[in-house]
Amino acid sequence: MTPNTYLFVPANRPERFEKAVASGADVVIFDLEDAVANENKVGARSNLRSYMENGGRGHVRINGVGTREFEEDLVLGRLPGVDGIVLPKAEDADVLRYVAKAIRADKPILPLIETAKGIANVQSIACAQGVSRLVFGTVDFCLDLGIDEEENELLVHRSNIVLASRLANILPPVDGVTISVNDADVLRKQADRARRLGFGAKLCIHPTQVSHIAACFRPSAEVVDWAQRVLKHMEQHGTAGAFSIDGKMVDAPVVELAKRLIGRIK
């Protein structure tokens, strides 16, 4: 099943590693970048190396190109326990190709679109070697463009990321974090908006967010029932033309939607 929840955990907090893994998140991202102060970068990398060498697994958000930690983080990315690389402030497809070559393995790369240049080059980034999924870094993106997001200020940019992902034939993108950790209503509202716009997942910054986000991306019981009845009708009556379920027309695209909905719960 395609991952819906990606949970960050600071790599300088090893006591939180197993809690993050036990949270139910589909993917845990061990963060070497924003969550770790400069003076703690070396220790964080050491913590993560020890964890991975002792059987741990997960994705790693490395430090960005141009930082002094970038190359050392890439070396860490070669460890067998590292299942994927999250690249911050992705702006250049050539850098992504360099990352893919440097980690010496067929591991997925998730570029974070966090800048004006990143969104301008989003199509080439989506098509770059090793990229499996785009991630929208909304907090840094708003900072870079001077946007104060409340509702729909990022609508066009979100749609561009979804479109670029589809054109590149990669997984639907991952939406950014909800910084209101203790407001479940805001979290669910933002996760539902992301899903309706075509995103397939969302970043989490706290374990308590995981279950709410997972529920938003999981089809409801009513929707699943509808999809199952559509597919049952197809089994019984074949593929001849359109038909009606619950007073609404069902044709080939709607049947395909039903198949995708059932695929999301398997």
Predicted pLDDT of residue 243: 81
What digits encode the pLDDT tens for the residues 26-54?
Answer: 999 999 999 999 999 999 999 999 999 99
Is the domain of 208 the same as that of 236? no
| Pairwise pLDDT comparison (261 vs 94), residue with the higher score | 94
> Residues 116, 244: one domain?
no
Do 183 and 60 fall within a single domain? yes
pLDDT digits (tens, 9 = 90+) for 80-126: 999 999 999 999 999 999 999 999 888 999 999 999 999 999 999 99
Whether 223 has a pLDDT exceeding 90, the answer reads no
**Domain region containing 79:** 5-217
If asked whether residues 193 and 241 sit together in one domain, one would say no
Overall average pLDDT of the 69-77 stretch: 95
Mean pLDDT taken over the chain: 92
Question: In the block, which residue shows the tokens 């989003």?
Answer: 122
pLDDT at res. 258 = 74
What integer pLDDT is reported at residue 245 of this predicted model?
Answer: 82
| Helices (H), ranges, 70-174 | 70-76, 93-102, 116-120, 122-126, 138-145, 155-168
- Same domain for 76 and 186, yes or no, is yes
Residue 239: the pLDDT is 63
Q: Is 230 helix (H, G, I), strand (E, B) or coil?
A: helix
CA-CA-CA-CA torsion sign (257, 259, 260, 261):
positive
Q: What percent of the chain has pLDDT over 70?
A: 95
Give the pLDDT confidence score for residue 240 in this predicted structure: 60
Residue-level pLDDT at 257: 73
**Do 179 and 230 sit in the same domain of this protein?**
no
Q: Which of 6-20, 131-145, 210-224, 247-261 has the lowest mean pLDDT?
A: 247-261
Closest CA to 74 of 92, 51, 55, 97: 97
Lowest mean pLDDT among 69-78, 80-89, 134-143, 226-235: 226-235
Structure tokens at 14: 């090893």
User: Are both 43 and 175 inside the same structural domain?
Assistant: yes
How many residues are recorded in the chain? 266
Is 258 in the same domain as 153?
Answer: no
Work out the average pLDDT over 146-163.
93
| pLDDT confidence band for 62 (50 / 70 / 90) | very high
Confidence of residue 236 (pLDDT cuts 50, 70, 90): confident
Question: Are both 238 and 208 inside the same structural domain?
Answer: no
Ramachandran sector of residue 66 (left: φ over 0; alpha: ψ -120 to 50; beta: rest): left
Same structural domain, 142 and 54: yes
- Strand partners of residue 53: none
pLDDT tier at 231 (50, 70, 90 boundaries)?
A: confident
Q: Is residue 228 located within the same domain as residue 99?
A: no
Question: Does residue 13 share a domain with residue 111?
Answer: yes
Residue 59 identity: H
CATH of the domain at 80: 3.20.20.60
Q: What is the pLDDT of residue 224?
A: 65
Tokens linked to 233: 């009708």
Number of domains in the chain: 2
In this model, does residue 266 exceed pLDDT 70?
A: no
**CA–CA dist 56, 226 (Å, integer):** 40
Of 138, 17, 132, 128, nearest in space to 81 by CA: 17
For the ranges 102-116, 147-161, 221-235, the lowest mean pLDDT is seen at 221-235
Distance CA 28, CA 203 (A): 10
